[in-house]
Amino acid sequence: MNIIEFLKVPIFQRALIASILAGGTMSLLGIVIVVFNMTTIRFALMHFGLLGGAIGLALGANPLTVAIAAIALASLLFGPLSDRLKLDTGLIGAFFMTGSIAIAFLLFYKAGVPALDVFSLFTGSILTLTSNDLLFICVLALIIVLFYVIFYKEIQLIFYDSDQAEWLGVPTKKIRNALLFLTGLSIGVAMKIVGALLIDALILLSAMSAMRLAKNFKQLILLTSLFGILTTTGGLLFSMVFDFPSGATITLTGVLILLISLLTQK
Amino acid sequence: MFNENAIELNNAFVGYGDVTILKNLDFKVKIGEFVSILGENGAGKTTLFKSILLILPLTKGTIRVFDKEVAWGRDNTWLRSQIGYVPQNHNKGNFPISVFDATLLGRWGSSFSYFKRPSLRDKEITREILRVVNLEDMMHHDCKALSGGQTQRLNIARALVRKPRILLLDEPTTHLDVDSQRKLDATISNIRNQYELSVIMISHDKAHAISLSDRIVYLRNGKIYNDIGVPL
Ligand SMILES: Nc1ncnc2c1ncn2[C@@H]1O[C@H](COP(=O)(O)OP(=O)(O)O)[C@@H](O)[C@H]1O
Ligand SMILES: [Mg+2]
């Protein structure tokens, strides 16, 4: 089949729309992860997603729905918890991470979940998106865009100098926690699209590439979004044409863009 | 020469948790005066700034700014319009932002926020301030591309862009080479005169403090142990 024929199939149409929306908007939350130095948190959230997925599989529910719910809950708790306990988020992350993955494996074992189902949590697939999944991605993409548009100045100030932001009266913690929550939801969606092990491809790589090239916030946002779309749609089209697994191809596209940005110094 | 006070702390006690750092401090700065604060590391200099800025509460005593009593926990919108603050060791981070945007954002909350976009006047003032601190040519550069001295001038611009009447500088020239230090000093004297500022500068270098200020206050263990005028 060539690309035109592929695009007549509803599954591929959904996958393409999802890849444009997710690539263009969820990548923007990678900026949050890079600037706030939250690489541990995103890893911990991913583990939480696995735990949610495990619970879903054990209960016979849709594993990814439970995974997204678990991640959303965890990301709601991270910010306030780290403020209250005065712990660094890295430590909290490590704590949740090991705990949740251990419980997940216990659940897999006790409920006798088939290995293939467990494997699907780790690899995901953009080609199994339902129209409800797509609706969820649309709504999330819209919220992310609106959030960045409305709080454009505030986000910039918090990213650049959160002390000054706080002193000027910007609701720094609220905005940070909201961004954390959106990041959590996006990680959940990324599990569905590229799988738990490759969420970075969708969320982190584009931001890291753009970070190296952008000279101001506007450029950062536009480049991140552009790289995000190139990563997901490029990866998806490649995987269709060459019959490669989509998650891996999307990830490789992201890695390739990062590599090019590393070589193209400012 | 100076009559009214820009800042007046009376009988102030400030601490972190159970530890009291500033003890029974009486400290005044007259309108238009340039006061330098000297003292060893840990003497409580930065803590004094944080109390004036209402980042830390007084456990006892009062603070008056232009003869108006202010206190931690109250609405400090007015205070923010009066005081510009250049913190110690501002680290640049890794976030890409232009010199112009970083300066403009210093006006957040005074004339724009959320749905209200910066006006032409906000941008005009930003350009004016960047001209005054000699960063006009660097306006569209990424802040990360600035040298140490330029970064400090940017930090001063970010504080000045609100058009405050008081400027607090926390060790502005520390870690700068001699040449950058000289340029920064010129900028500081310049803005002080041009905007008729009252300035409090924390310094670790006596000669440097003498060259810029009207008065030098020595802080030790949270108390003032010497307060001397600098002869003209
Ligand atoms: N956030 C804080 N929590 C607890 N103690 C602090 C804090 N900040 C400063 N201190 C202590 O208060 C004292 C004064 O600090 P500071 O005002 O920063 O000194 P200086 O600026 O004169 O070097 C020091 O002993 C320091 O350890
Ligand atoms: Mg200090």
- The verdict on residue B230 lying in a domain is no
Q: Are B86 and B169 within 8 A, CB to CB?
A: yes
Centroid of ligand 1 to alpha carbon of B155 (angstroms)? 22
Does any CB of chain A come closer than 8 Å to the CB of residue B158?
A: yes
Read off the pLDDT of residues A226-253 as tens digits, 9 standing for 90 and up.
999 999 999 999 988 888 888 889 999 9
pLDDT winner (highest mean) among A25-29, A72-76, B76-80: A25-29
- The verdict on residue B16 lying in a domain is yes
Would you tell me how many other CB atoms lie within 10 Å of the CB of residue B189?
14
- For residue B90, the enclosing domain spans 5-225
- The verdict on residue B113 lying in a domain is yes
Contacts of B207 (CB under 8 A, 6+ apart): none
Exposed/middle/buried for B223, CB within 10 Å: 0-12, 13-18, 19+? middle
Q: Rounded to whole angstroms, how far apart are CA atoms B6 and B61?
A: 17
The sheet that has B34-38: what strands, in order across it?
B83-86, B166-170, B198-202, B34-38, B215-220, B223-229
**Alpha carbon distance, N-terminus to C-terminus of chain A:** 41
Q: Is the ipTM of this complex over 0.95?
A: no
In the predicted model, what is the mean pLDDT of residues A54-59? 88
Position A48: which residue type?
F
- The verdict on residue B232 lying in a domain is no
When scoring B74, B108, B112 by the number of chain A Cβ atoms within 10 A, the one with the most, hence best to mutate, is B108
Query: Which ligand 1 atom is nearest residue B50's CA?
Result: 17
Given 3-state DSSP classes, what are the helix, strand and coil percentages for chain B, each rounded to the nearest 5?
Answer: 35, 30, 35
Read off the pLDDT of residues B116-170 as tens digits, 9 standing for 90 and up.
999 999 999 999 999 999 999 999 999 999 999 999 999 999 999 999 999 999 9
Q: Rounded to whole angstroms, how far apart are CA atoms A70 and A73?
A: 5
At A199, which CATH number?
A: 1.10.3470.10
Name which residue sits closest to atom 1 of ligand 1, judged by CA: B16
- For residue A95, the enclosing domain spans 3-264
At B20, which CATH number?
A: 3.40.50.300
Q: How many domains does chain A fold into?
A: 1
Read off the pLDDT of residues A103-154 as tens digits, 9 standing for 90 and up.
888 988 888 888 888 888 888 778 888 888 899 999 999 999 999 999 999 9
Exposed/middle/buried for B196, CB within 10 Å: 0-12, 13-18, 19+? exposed
CA distances from B149 to B138, B158, B161, B170, B221 (A): 13, 14, 18, 14, 31
Residues of B in Cβ contact (< 8 Å) with A34: 94
Centroid of ligand 2 to alpha carbon of B88 (angstroms)? 7
Whether residue B97 and residue A156 make contact (CB cut-off 8 A), yes or no, is yes
Q: Which residues of A179-218 are buried (b: 16+ CB within 10 A; e: fewer)?
A: bbbbbbbbbbbbbbbbbbbbbbbbbbbbbbbbbbbbbbbe
Q: Rounded to whole angstroms, how far apart are CA atoms A263 and A255?
A: 12
Q: Rounded to whole angstroms, how far apart are CA atoms A211 and A63?
A: 34
pLDDT at A92: 67
Strand-pairing partners, residue B217, are B37, B227
Residue A266 has pLDDT above 60, yes or no: no
Q: How many domains does chain B fold into?
A: 1
C-alpha dihedral sign at B68, B72, B74, B80: positive
A-B C-beta contacts closer than 8 Å:
73
The encoded tokens of residue A146 equal 């609106």
Read off the pLDDT of residues B48-74 as tens digits, 9 standing for 90 and up.
999 999 999 999 999 999 999 999 888
Contacts of B17 (CB under 8 A, 6+ apart): none
Q: Rounded to whole angstroms, how far apart are CA atoms A161 and B44?
A: 23
Whether residue B141 and residue A164 make contact (CB cut-off 8 A), yes or no, is no
Centroid of ligand 2 to alpha carbon of B47 (angstroms)? 7
Query: Considering the entire predicted model, what is its pTM?
Result: 0.89
Q: How confident is the model at residue A77 (pLDDT cuts 50, 70, 90)?
A: confident
When scoring A39, A164, A175, A224 by the number of chain B Cβ atoms within 10 A, the one with the most, hence best to mutate, is A164
Q: How confident is the model at residue A201 (pLDDT cuts 50, 70, 90)?
A: confident
Helix (H) or strand (E) holding B179: helix B178-194
Does any CB of chain A come closer than 8 Å to the CB of residue B28?
A: no
Strand-pairing partners, residue B70, are B63
pLDDT winner (highest mean) among A5-9, A148-152, A183-187, A234-238: A148-152
Ligand 1: lining residues by beta carbon, under 6 Å: B 16, 21, 39, 41-47
Does any CB of chain A come closer than 8 Å to the CB of residue B31?
A: no
The encoded tokens of residue B153 equal 């001038």
User: Rounded to 5 degrees, what are φ and ψ at B10?
Assistant: -120, 125
Whether residue A164 and residue B106 make contact (CB cut-off 8 A), yes or no, is yes
Centroid of ligand 1 to alpha carbon of B23 (angstroms)? 13
Whether residue B141 and residue A219 make contact (CB cut-off 8 A), yes or no, is no
